Structure 1
Amino acid sequence: MPLNLYLRRAAPLLLLVAVLAATAAAATDQPRYDTLQTTLVADIQPAANRLEAIADVRIRIVDRTNYIAFRLNGNLVVTHVEDDTGEPLRFIQDDTEKFEVMINLVRPRAAGTEMTIHLEYNGLFSRLDFDFFKQLGNPLYAYIGPDMVELPAASMWFPRNTDPMDRSAYELQVTLPTGLRPFTAGLSTETIDTGLTKTYIFKSAQDILAPTLVAGRYQVQDYTFGDLTLQTWFLTEFPEQAGSAQRYAEIVRHLRHRWNWRPVQEPLRIVEVSDNFQAQFGMQDSVFLSTREFTSKNPENRQIIRKFAYQKWLLPMQVATPEDIWILEGLSQYAAALYFEDVKGAEAFDTTMRLLAVDALKYQDAEPIARGVHLGVGSEKYDSVVVAKSAWVFHMLRTLVGKEKFEPLLATIWELGAREPLSTARIADIARQVTGTDYSWFFNQWINTVDLPDFSVEYIVYRLAKGGFQTVGKVNQTLTAFQIPLELKFVTKGQDELKVIDVKGESTRLNIETETRPIQLVIDPNFRILRKSEELEIQVHIVRGDEYFELGDFPSATDEYKRVLERQPRNSHALFKLALVFYEQFNYNTAQNTFREALNGDQQPPWVVALCYMYMGKIFDVLGQRQRAVAEYNKAVNTNDDSRGAVTEATKYLSQPFTRAKTYLPGQQDAAQPELKQPEEDKPDADAPAKDPGR
């Protein structure tokens, strides 16, 4: 896609392009610089969806250069750039692909040079623009509207360093219509009231990551629970606000006791944002929760807990390069998983790690972890590679070094990361210092490659003259340069035995003695290694099908579920999901038949049975066959399985028939085309893992 070129002042366009292009070609990466201070004056006009801003960015040159680049959202148009002497600077703005402003500094600047760049710019953030960026495949969201302003740092609403982990001091001067209250990083030092508008001034007390700005008609309330105080910023009124705050207070209390974490500035603030903003995790001493998350019946899911874990494991920490962000993302997600082990027990922790394995396998071939940041922070591929897979790296590291050494290892990582940049090599060095063992091979194996092992075993069992049995054979796996300690479970007619062998290369000899005859060998029975397996691949197809389902892409969802059924025709989980697709398309006959197929399948997971009966009852109600509907609702109730809410819902419709209005795409009602949207009354709670149809 061609660049939109913005040239200011009377200088030949070709000369400017030649200078910048030649300089850029001479270096593999953009010239580096450190941001020292950003001073931003922003006039926000919600009625017009408009932002007008002036930014003064103080930088220190790291690489000798005659140009620098800032990241800036493509919705924003730069109108003027000058240096700290007032000399106008020429620039090119790419507003379609990289969202960069490349500025010619007139003459080469030596490393260590400090200077201030002054930029003036303006633009619109409306819902239409958000949709435009989604079509480009860029996961940006920013919005300015009459009742809500949401400008995440990731949307680049002000000039940013090309290094997303760069930290600096910030001073923000934000003007808003009276009635909208802003929330951002730093302390509010002054408010200027002019009647129709108010100007708020915020200053950071220390160098921080780029800030997010939200504004709305917030109601601010402090809640105290024993020795813990939370400050809530609510946008909407809903029952049990205090109860909701208390549930999150328990997560904060665990963070405090388990990881010895305290906010830099008390109290921790929990800020309600729109559901479009749900992917944003917050800033230092503040956690963003969407309206859906605030009102969720089950706040203890790994996405929400990860937002709290970022307060410990990401926001205060430093990394050497953007590629090293995997360290902080992996630690945050693994800390969220350990919450389930500490609070819910081993089974909940095992379930969480299996779900993370499914997430990791979804796009495991996209990039190695070391290059995952280039997948786009916040994208599905990024979350698969950099978040889920990195969490598994720390999980496998804990298995390797043992729990007793893993805790001091984490403590050392945190102590160093809070005062110096971390890198993959530094983490490997810390592991060696704490454990006395060199694990460089482990990090190289899991961080720098995309391949996952796929294990198989072949063996023969011999009876020994001295008593007992000897199993001889080999363990095979698909990677040439690979090593890992591997657990093998010998299932016998007596007591099962667990053995560990060191797998190296594609084939490893197996020679194990057991007291009783093995009747089966189970590879990695406790699921300690992130690996390929049919079970996980089946779950990956179901989860990807669920993602398409939520987007209303029913043909793609159908394809994913059918891929499962090609391998496992009696898979009740996939059949149930396929039936839901037909149900959403108002294809009731096919849906009914597919729900029955699911009941005749393997009935795994068990909650599928109750849900199938409940949905079949709904279909009969919609078709006006009340007696048959009641019969299906009673079957659902009789399962006594309310783990997905089927019994509760079926009980409700025993006393009153279920009704469902048929909906249409906008402007297509006459054509009788159904809207690709799940009716609100029938939509499962997407925020509660127990309600998630993909789990």
Structure 2
Amino acid sequence: LLGYSAPGIEFLADRAFESSPNGNLLAREIAYQWWQALIVPKSPRDLWLKEGFAGYAALLYEESISSEAGFVQELKDTAVAALLHEDKSTIRNAYQLEEYSPEYNSILKSKGAYVLHMLRGVLGDEKFFKLLKEYVYNFAYKEASIEDFKALAEKIYGQDLTYFFSQWIEQNGVPQFQYEFTTYRVKDGFKVTGTIKQDLDTFRMPVEILVETDGKPELKKVEAVGPESNFSVSTFGKPRSTKIDPNQKILRISDEIRVATFIGKGDELKKLGEPTEAIGQYQKAIELNKRSSLAFYRIGEAFFEQRSYQSAANSFREALNGDLEPKWIEVWCHINLGKVYDVLSQRERALKEYQQALDTNDNTQGAQETAQKYIQQPYRYEGTHVVVR
């Protein structure tokens, strides 16, 4: 564990601190003062009221300090974490999983947080935050169940929410959206009409559709019900592209998220000391995205830890020839290639890589200091270790 919260006190592991405290971790652990200590889940089947709520509090903190694009990326990261083991249990039955296991964390913490974000999308900000406040006022120093929270949500929203809680709390499975559309020229501009498709028969959620145009973009919310739902969006400017759920308001699968999920599963296996199985997951990511620099980079790390230096170097080179996402891939590929050459006593080649790392001016995780260190003193293999980025 990186942190532990008890009434009135917080414990954080020393590895949670770098140059500054981990803000997301602090926000989540402090949130347990409300969602664990102040309001106690009535039974193990109600653990979402603790884990999901604390996780979403951390997301709300990130939203308060991030740009809109930055928060969308946080949501994507949360979606990946949620989908790692989403098929292992429903939120309601996740208490049967080993506490704080990868499966427990994926379903109750990550998916649990995302479910609250989706409920916010259904209710709207004003009613959602009113719900959270009244939940605290009504149940402070008491026990609460999911049914209690649902009843309060329905009272504030003024509509039945059985479909929502059934879909996201009592069942598992997430949609994968596909869509087709046609653009028409009309008297006052243009009209985009189309159909949203997904494979969950009982699915029902409000879905945002963004139409990018030559002028102002148009954003419309439609109620998607069942496998197919029609939509129509009017625009003044000529439409250029259409996106479904552009702000990541629905927990869903996509090719991008599926790639990230395979990489996430690989990371889990590598931490468990199963590098061969981890490499298999990274290769699945590459099958979907042949330019995934992150997947190639992770394979390079796994081979390096196994002292398979030729394979490691090949993988780091493939990463440099890929999409270079995230941006830190470039600088750390050069550093790791330098380490490979130092281990193999090819000092001139190592120095060239370290200099290329400096030339990126990217100091993610102290990359510049690390490259300078190995320019001054050759890298020496010191056994395996885990670097969290």
Question: What is the TM-score with the length of structure 2 in the denominator?
Answer: 0.95
1:532 aligned to which of 253, 257, 262: 253
Match of 1:402 in 2: 124
Structure 2 SS opposite 1:360: helix
Match of 1:235 in 2: none
* RCO comparison, higher one (Cα < 8 Å, 6+): 2
RMSD: 1.8
Superposition map of 1:91-490 within 5 A: 278=1, 281-293=4-16, 295-464=17-186, 466-490=187-211
1:592 aligned to which of 313, 316, 330: 313
Structure 2 SS opposite 1:387: helix
Check whether the contact 1:338–1:349 (CA below 8 A) recurs between aligned residues: no
Q: Distance in 1 between matches of 2:221 and 2:191?
A: 15
Structure 2 SS opposite 1:500: strand
Q: Deviations over 1:284-305 (max 9, x none)?
A: 1222222323x43342253443
Match of 1:269 in 2: none
Check whether the contact 1:596–1:612 (CA below 8 A) recurs between aligned residues: yes
Q: Distance in 2 between matches of 1:644 and 1:420?
A: 43
Check whether the contact 1:302–1:333 (CA below 8 A) recurs between aligned residues: no
Gaps of 5+ in 2: none
Could you tell me how far 1:279 is from its partner in structure 2? 5.7
Identity %: 35
Q: Distance in 1 between matches of 2:85 and 2:367?
A: 32
Q: Distance in 2 between matches of 1:344 and 1:457?
A: 30
Check whether the contact 2:51–2:108 (CA below 8 A) recurs between aligned residues: yes
Could you tell me how far 1:280 is from its partner in structure 2? 6.1
Could you tell me how far 1:475 is from its partner in structure 2? 0.9
Could you tell me how far 1:365 is from its partner in structure 2? 0.9
Match of 1:241 in 2: none
2:167 is aligned with what amino acid?
Q
Q: Distance in 1 between matches of 2:74 and 2:20?
A: 15
Question: What is the TM-score with the length of structure 1 in the denominator?
Answer: 0.54
Q: Deviations over 1:101-156 (max 9, x none)?
A: xxxxxxxxxxxxxxxxxxxxxxxxxxxxxxxxxxxxxxxxxxxxxxxxxxxxxxxx
Check whether the contact 2:328–2:364 (CA below 8 A) recurs between aligned residues: yes
1:384 is aligned with what amino acid?
S
Question: Which is greater in Rg?
Answer: 1
Q: Deviations over 1:29-81 (max 9, x none)?
A: xxxxxxxxxxxxxxxxxxxxxxxxxxxxxxxxxxxxxxxxxxxxxxxxxxxxx
Check whether the contact 1:321–1:423 (CA below 8 A) recurs between aligned residues: yes
Q: Distance in 1 between matches of 2:310 and 2:98?
A: 42
More strand by share: 1
Alignment coverage as a number of residue pairs: 389
Check whether the contact 1:636–1:650 (CA below 8 A) recurs between aligned residues: yes
Q: Distance in 1 between matches of 2:20 and 2:73?
A: 16
Q: Distance in 2 between matches of 1:347 and 1:490?
A: 18
Match of 1:619 in 2: 340
Q: Distance in 2 between matches of 1:388 and 1:641?
A: 30
Match of 1:510 in 2: 231
Could you tell me how far 1:459 is from its partner in structure 2? 1.5
Gaps of 5+ in 1: 1-277, 664-676, 687-691
2:269 is aligned with what amino acid?
Y
Q: Distance in 2 between matches of 1:558 and 1:623?
A: 23
Q: Distance in 1 between matches of 2:197 and 2:66?
A: 36
Does 2:349 match 1:628? yes
Q: Distance in 2 between matches of 1:456 and 1:357?
A: 18
Q: Distance in 2 between matches of 1:405 and 1:285?
A: 29
More helix by share: 2
Q: Distance in 2 between matches of 1:585 and 1:646?
A: 23
Could you tell me how far 1:500 is from its partner in structure 2? 1.3
Q: Distance in 1 between matches of 2:268 and 2:167?
A: 30
